[in-house]
Structure 1
Amino acid sequence: MKARAIVFRGPGVVGLDDFDVREPGPGEVLVRAHHTCISPGTELRCLAGKQPNPAPWPFIPGYAMAGEVIEAGPGARFEPGAMVYLNGTADAGRLARMWGGHASHAIAPDDSCIDIPRGVSTLEASFAHLAGIAYHGSIVSGAAPGDTVAVIGLGVLGQMCARMYALLGCRAVACDVNADRVQTARRLGTKAELVSGDLAAALGPHIPEGPDVIADVTGNARVMNDAIRIARDVPWEDAPIEPTTYVVQGSYPDVLPVPYQDAFLKQLVLKFPRDCTRGDRARVMELMAQGGFDARSWISSEESPENAEEIYRELSKPDSKQLTVVFRWT
């Protein structure tokens, strides 16, 4: 059968293409996508040709799909009709994959698929990977109930990080240079400040004693120089004061310079959460089912794949009002 996919043909070039879908083999399933969700930071970096270890052009981007099993290979644990989350197709014929998420159909090992809980739509489930990254970072940070967390950057991942820390019982204070993103965060219950110049001036008055955790979700290597200034001062004498943990939650294409002297004087603890696990994605879908958060709050729009070129162009604008977009395939 023929499947349809969004493809990146070259730097800045987005299109649609067909590929042949084979029959599922042993332990595999064929999934018909209902929704796929854009991960803006990673996918825009792929589109610019700046993602490490890139696939050859053209390739299918994306790693967040939710849909219905329509055929199962021998020994597969899912049956036709099951609603599942998966990262994307494991086989796209002549097309390369980064990671094959934005496609109408997917072949996948059944152990890579996760049951979508009752009460969670495929629109919401397609958001599970982004939410899982935020959840994973909050756990790796070591933040505990009552801790103060400074979330820097309020793109879709930063918005989710603020929510996850709040669910942990932390006090989250966030900031961004984009006024629309700040307003979105405030509307959804996050204390958020607009940075119009000095980051420390925006956040410092709200956390004068310094935060327990700084979550840098900007993906901007220059931010760390300013952000370290709000980290807690640790006295040289013996004192029961824990240094600030700096969580590098954004992703970067290459080198991330660390201002050594400032980090040294603050005795900063650096942590680099690594994406998310299958268990993280399952957990955030459980939170969705329990009403812990509504993924639709951070999905700017639901669009046809035919509009992909326009959508990626809009998301690439520095002042874009879009957080993320979900493609509807059925």
Structure 2
Amino acid sequence: SLHTAVLTKLAAICLRGAKMSRPLPWETVAVIGLGTVGHLAARVHAVSGARVIGVDTLPARADALRRAGIEAVVAAPDSIAKAVRAVLPNGADIVVDATGFDGAANQAALIARETGRDDTPEVPARYLVQGSYPESVAFPYIPAFHRELTVLFSRDTRPQDLRDVLDLLRRGKLNLQGVLGQPFAPTDAPQVYADLQARKGDLLTAAFQWSPE
């Protein structure tokens, strides 16, 4: 529907990241931060068949992801790794950081699966920075070193990403139902943006209806 299609750009940003992290059906993915980008990143990574776990400090955001059929946990900022490890004792193959907040990199490195030291063929864990950071990002060297952690940065979208999202929607492979509620009137914009900034309720993002149906 056109109502769902307005999410194409945001979903394409997340698809761009998933094309870089390359989730496989037997892998596990932990998504830190379940705002709009994190929520969509979880849905996009789940298309691969990988097991996805979302984590956020706000119960409403975790509930929103659960309603989409994806596992989610709630944790304080300093116990995110502990909460995810309680569900994924061996760590995650892919960690998606959709927070943009300092300290997430430390938690992400602890969530990532450790790499073995024998000759078993193995792809190291990946850390995908999907959120936007205003300043420099610091990574904890020792945990990253022992995991041979691969760090990935995705940059917006390419035209093909937009086409691919629309194709996934058309074929029913990607479900974006429930991300948007009913569209708001343009006159409601100041209050809607204030609510989004204050992270009130379970509102992830919003659409505005500029003309009659």
After TM superposition, is the score higher than 0.5?
yes
- Indicate the structure (1 or 2) with the bigger Cα radius of gyration: 1
Where do residues 85-234 of structure 1 align in structure 2 (5 Å cutoff)?
Answer: 120-121=1-2, 123-196=3-76, 198-234=79-115
Q: Which is richer in strand?
A: 1
Deviation at 1:290, TM superposition (A): 2.2
- Percent identity, aligned pairs only, is 33
Deviations 1:290-327 (A, max 9, x none): 22334341114411121111111111114542100001
Deviation at 1:271, TM superposition (A): 0.4
Query: d(CA) in 1 for partners of 2:119 and 2:154?
Result: 30
How much is the aligned-residue C-alpha RMSD, in angstroms?
Answer: 1.7
Aligned to 1:307: 188
Match of 2:179 among 263, 273, 298: 298
Aligned to 2:170: 289
Contact residue 232 and residue 244 of structure 1 kept, 8 A: yes
Query: d(CA) in 1 for partners of 2:56 and 2:157?
Result: 24
Name the count of aligned residue pairs: 210
Query: d(CA) in 2 for partners of 1:235 and 1:289?
Result: 41
> Structure 1: which amino acid aligns with 2:72?
A
1:255 aligns with 2:136: yes
Match of 1:325, SS state, is: coil
Query: d(CA) in 1 for partners of 2:56 and 2:4?
Result: 25
Query: d(CA) in 1 for partners of 2:164 and 2:20?
Result: 15
Match of 2:151, SS state, is: strand
Query: d(CA) in 2 for partners of 1:194 and 1:138?
Result: 23
Deviations 1:180-214 (A, max 9, x none): 01111111100111113511221102211221111
Contact residue 214 and residue 245 of structure 1 kept, 8 A: yes
Match of 2:173, SS state, is: coil
> Structure 2: which amino acid aligns with 1:246?
Y
Q: Which is richer in helix?
A: 2
Deviation at 1:244, TM superposition (A): 0.9
Contact residue 98 and residue 130 of structure 2 kept, 8 A: yes
Deviations 1:4-60 (A, max 9, x none): xxxxxxxxxxxxxxxxxxxxxxxxxxxxxxxxxxxxxxxxxxxxxxxxxxxxxxxxx
Contact residue 47 and residue 174 of structure 2 kept, 8 A: no
Structure 2 residue runs without a partner (length 5+):
none
> Structure 2: which amino acid aligns with 1:226?
Q
Higher relative contact order at CA 8 Å, sep ≥6: structure 1 or structure 2?
Answer: 2
Contact residue 300 and residue 323 of structure 1 kept, 8 A: no
